[in-house]
Structure 1
Amino acid sequence: MKIKFIFLNSIVSVCLLLTINIYGQDNKAHNPIIFADVPDASMVRVGDTYYMSSTTMHMNPGVPIMTSKDLVNWKLISYAYDTLGNSDELDLKNGKNMYGRGSWASCMRYHNNTFYVSTFSATTGKTYIFSTKNPENEPWQKIEFQPSYHDHSILFDDDGKIYMVWGAGKLNIAELKDDLSGVKEGTERVLIENASAPAGDNIMLGAEGSQLFKIKGKYYLFNITWPRGGMRTVVIHRADNINGPWEGKVGLQDLGVAQGGLIDTPDGRWFSYLFRDNGGVGRIPYIVPVKWENGWPILGEEGKVPWTLDLPANKSLIPGIVNSDDFKRSKKDKDLPLVWQWNHNPDNSLWSVRERKGYLRLKTGRIDSSFVQARNILTQRTIGPESTGSTLLDLSKMKEGDFAGLCLLQKEFGLVGVKLENGTKKIVMVSAPKGQPKEVQSVTINQNKIYFKAECDFRDKTDKAHFFYSLDGKSWIQIGDTINMPYTLPHFMGYRFGLFNYATKNVGGYVDFDYFHISDHISKTNQ
């Protein structure tokens, strides 16, 4: 019996160690630091506080700004802009859209007590620079100019000059005007003819995603490249002078973790922030330790991305990155918390959290024949390794042809909603494999309140989801097919939970959403 007890105790100990290694219960941080779509990060540290910008492309407001005290646990504090402007592409009008475009990789800097975030848009053909003294409590001021400088990075140099680096494969550099209103004429030149060269000759993604730093008098340039048949790779160049000569090397080639830059801690340690393509949940951030050898930053542990980090343990992404919302607002509250973003530009006349206390009202104002062209889809990120989004709708003010419900938004979207057809309400599940929507199942109902939920499984890139409905909020019934959730380049974004309502025949109807609840687990029946 004693031998059996020792044997069982050993098994328990091993299982506990495995649990610690897998789930980070040893009070250390683990990668990914954020299991959600937060790509193209750019970071600065001001005192003991870190700030990060990211990419959300066709979502508005755009360029999310986050803050952290430990490099691991982040919360949203603002956005650089509400909208980039107005056009058919930005407004989802006349069959046009900006899926996968909008604004791309941003650059965050801190200079002379001011925060700067710059980005660019192939949709508008412009470059944007936003600034504020206080990113959490003051608005961002905007400067815009042409052309659109691809994947650029800004550096405020010690001599007062301001440089911008941009491009893919061939990287260019120019000085910016003192007021940041554009590039100084005559300063544009080639910085590095072939920045991908350290990763070999057979390249399918030329070095891009530039992030330029000056550390202890030396210039360091980080880029991402992709050797054909290989994986996304970090390439680093360095120089003693901004004009070169530049020497380059592969900085990291593991798990496809790449694109980012350098950040230091108040106690003098260095890390690199990067991201990894992770299927349907999106591009997720990683942190790797950095050591300095002979003036080079050495990324990872023996060239590998570590699972655990000597940083504080990860907490839940709820409420910092995503959060539930009961739509209850006081007079002092903002209409929408920062976790929410609209798909493309919203029509602000067609939604409200004030007209009916404790509800989000989505009204119809035009006829739409396509779900992905419908305006005012209100979204939040899905999160991994698994997550559930649920909602309750009041359907009593729908009009003939209206369609409202809960979706998982990407090119190959899935949704469950209620259609009002020929005076009859029916629950409909739609799946869109290869972007081609099809009605999979429908159920007639005779009531004006309906509960929906969507469950997402991103464990080990399972990338599958199920939809459910309930007539009473207690008993749930699965509806339709399991949907696959591939990451597609036309949308270039991880799947998002979304609340929607659009008209196909008559305008003027509306639905009221009682709540949206998000959790970081799914029901046992789907595990």
Structure 2
Amino acid sequence: MKKTLAGFAFAIVILFASPFRTWSQKAINPIIHADVPDLSMIRVGDTYYMSSTTMHMSPGVPIMKSKDLVNWQLVSYAYDILDDVDALNLNNGKSTYGAGSWASSLRYHNGTYYVSTFASTTRKTYIYSTKNIEKGPWKKIAFQPMLHDHSLFFDDDDKAYMLYGAGKIMMAELEADLSGIKAGSTPQVLIQNASAPAGNNIWLQAEGSQLFKVNGKYYLFNIAWPRNGMRTVTIHRADKITGPYEGRLGLQDKGVAQGGLISTPKGEWFAYLFRDYGAVGRIPYWVPVKWEDGWPVLGVDGKVPDTLNLPANKSLMPGIVASDEFTRKKKDAPLPLVWQWNHNPDNAHWSLTARPGHLRLTTSRADTSLLLVKNMLTQRTVGPTCAGTTAIDVSNMKDGDCAGLALLQKKFGWVGVKAENGSKSIVMVSGAKDKPEELQRVPLNQSTIFLKAECDFRDMTDKAYFYYSLDGKTWTKIGGVLQMEYTLPHFMGYRYGLFNWATESAGGWVDFDWFRFQTIQL
């Protein structure tokens, strides 16, 4: 069964991969139609690397690689777990949704790669370093205070700084070993009101600092959000890192903002930015840059273009999202990089070896909410439309267990199996309201069930549909339409999640045979 369905899935992928991009010979914005926010980017030789935010997910701070600035693949993470605390472990009723590690800063200096980030969960600043950004290992430094939305910057004299803050931008010099703020030094105010270029009626003060040095001048990029307006790029320039800085509005179109500058080996310049785009998340856009009077000028006549003079976009599979048959060879990593756990995993209660060719999730305790369930294995959804399917053996569920396929956000939805009073049922549950609702129930009289969730992100429609199948061929819609919503408490685009959840007693398990990702036409 697995081989037959794998062939079918492969054919579907080839037929529908990137259906909206197939005939373009140029890059199309958005560059990545998936949740990849808070970008930081470097180029080393002819290779680009990019870090972004995944907050409460583990492993964290994903590193992506590209040779053409358009087509990216995951190659690493800066850490396996950020820290060992209850909120990150989903213990004692605590979680860190919408928190964890935020906007990272990626740098390359004297042969070493650095990724820094910060976390409101622990109130710490973190710096990870490695000689090999794709294979590691990574060295970790953590210190207080937490420096919000900072930019790590190495100057030509090898001094290291962090620029940080909101509205009022601060600068702190770091110790030579980066172990903290330099002893005896005092952080200084670099720019008193970095929001000023965006106007005087500001809803979100300037933050998201990224500092660059080009032709001897310092350029600081920030995002500000005018009230009743849109996300806006501001740029400040100075001859010395300490200032004084003069500022101007950098870009105000489509809400595309927050990021920085990158150049190609040919000397072409682009700004890498992102856009809030509903339930799929915050999606990356590139904007061409030209230089005038020593200032970077963003966009085409001040606008974000739909196409770019860069190579055409290819499918996001398998570089960003991917199917998984859960078969592993001896030298394979336990999980492909497309997967992340919701919060820190409990490694004693998941396995790819207990039943080879399957992902086994075993419950370790009873929980009161899907959002507190350990070992939910997730990966991104993508736009404009996509589908995730899975096959699951539910033979060993215990009464009170729930297992299946979720679309994870605060207003979640899931399709799966409930075990109650010695019998099992296929159910669809919506978390769109304050209290989750079971919208439909169908008796289940077999051990294997096939589940599917489709997402429609076109023009921020943000609707999801759920299905089940008894044979993997004929699909039946179940429950209602989930109106997906990007909520700030989770601060992340919807993700597919595989889960097994006990509500009564621990010890039941389920075996996922495969997970298949497809871009589709609705």
Q: Which TM-score bucket, shorter chain as reference?
A: over 0.9
* Aligned AA (2:151): S
Matches of 1:75 and 1:421 in 2, distance apart? 42
* Aligned AA (1:93): N
Kept in 2: contact 1:365–1:508 (CA 8 A): yes
In the alignment, which residue of structure 2 is the partner of 1:453?
452
Name the SS for the 2:480 alignment partner.
strand
Identity of paired residues, percent?
A: 67
After TM superposition, list the pairs within 5 Å mapping 1:336-355 onto structure 2. Answer: 336-355=335-354
Deviations 1:451-490 (A, max 9, x none): 0000000011110010000011111000000001111000
In the alignment, which residue of structure 2 is the partner of 1:52?
50
In the alignment, which residue of structure 2 is the partner of 1:237?
236
Kept in 2: contact 1:453–1:467 (CA 8 A): yes
User: What is the deviation of 1:25?
Assistant: 2.1
User: What is the deviation of 1:436?
Assistant: 2.8
After TM superposition, list the pairs within 5 Å mapping 1:61-76 onto structure 2. Answer: 61-76=59-74
Matches of 1:243 and 1:187 in 2, distance apart? 13
After TM superposition, list the pairs within 5 Å mapping 1:292-311 onto structure 2. Answer: 292-311=291-310
* Aligned AA (1:236): I
Name the SS for the 1:442 alignment partner.
strand
After superposition, the Cα gap between the structure-2 partners of 1:443 and 1:96, relative to the gap in structure 1 and judged at 3 Å, is same
Kept in 1: contact 2:393–2:513 (CA 8 A): yes
Q: 1:97 aligns with which of 85, 95, 98?
A: 95
After TM superposition, list the pairs within 5 Å mapping 1:314-353 onto structure 2. Answer: 314-353=313-352
After superposition, the Cα gap between the structure-2 partners of 1:301 and 1:435, relative to the gap in structure 1 and judged at 3 Å, is farther
After TM superposition, list the pairs within 5 Å mapping 1:55-454 onto structure 2. Answer: 55-184=53-182, 185-454=184-453
* Aligned AA (2:201): N
Kept in 1: contact 2:398–2:419 (CA 8 A): yes
Matches of 1:58 and 1:352 in 2, distance apart? 22
Matches of 2:445 and 2:241 in 1, distance apart? 70
**1:513 equivalent in alignment to 2:497:** no
Kept in 2: contact 1:411–1:434 (CA 8 A): no
Matches of 1:228 and 1:40 in 2, distance apart? 21
Matches of 1:21 and 1:252 in 2, distance apart? 30
Matches of 2:258 and 2:178 in 1, distance apart? 25
| Paired positions, count | 504
Name the SS for the 1:168 alignment partner.
coil
Q: Which runs of 5+ in 1 are unaligned?
A: 1-19
Name the SS for the 2:87 alignment partner.
helix
User: What is the deviation of 1:24?
Assistant: 6.5
Name the SS for the 1:292 alignment partner.
strand
Residues 155-164 or 430-439, more deviating = 430-439
Kept in 1: contact 2:173–2:185 (CA 8 A): no
Deviations 1:422-448 (A, max 9, x none): 001001100011443111111111111
User: What is the deviation of 1:147?
Assistant: 1.1
Kept in 2: contact 1:413–1:435 (CA 8 A): no
Matches of 1:362 and 1:270 in 2, distance apart? 47
Matches of 2:61 and 2:248 in 1, distance apart? 30
Name the SS for the 1:198 alignment partner.
helix
Matches of 1:88 and 1:23 in 2, distance apart? 44
* Aligned AA (2:108): Y
Kept in 1: contact 2:30–2:284 (CA 8 A): yes
Matches of 1:162 and 1:179 in 2, distance apart? 9
Moved over 6 A (4+): none
Deviations 1:134-180 (A, max 9, x none): 11122211111011100000110011211110000011001010000
After TM superposition, list the pairs within 5 Å mapping 1:467-482 onto structure 2. Answer: 467-482=466-481
| TM-score, normalised via structure 1 length | 0.94
* Aligned AA (2:435): Q
Name the SS for the 2:479 alignment partner.
strand
Kept in 1: contact 2:418–2:424 (CA 8 A): yes
Kept in 2: contact 1:24–1:30 (CA 8 A): no
After superposition, the Cα gap between the structure-2 partners of 1:467 and 1:267, relative to the gap in structure 1 and judged at 3 Å, is same
| TM-score, normalised via structure 2 length | 0.95
Deviations 1:247-268 (A, max 9, x none): 0000000000000000000000
Deviations 1:34-66 (A, max 9, x none): 000000000000000000000000000000000
User: What is the deviation of 1:21?
Assistant: 13
Matches of 1:24 and 1:311 in 2, distance apart? 15
After superposition, the Cα gap between the structure-2 partners of 1:22 and 1:306, relative to the gap in structure 1 and judged at 3 Å, is farther
Matches of 2:185 and 2:332 in 1, distance apart? 49
In the alignment, which residue of structure 2 is the partner of 1:12?
none
Residues 297-306 or 86-95, more deviating = 86-95
Q: Which runs of 5+ in 2 are unaligned?
A: 1-17
RMSD across aligned C-alpha pairs, in angstroms? 1.2
User: What is the deviation of 1:127?
Assistant: 0.3
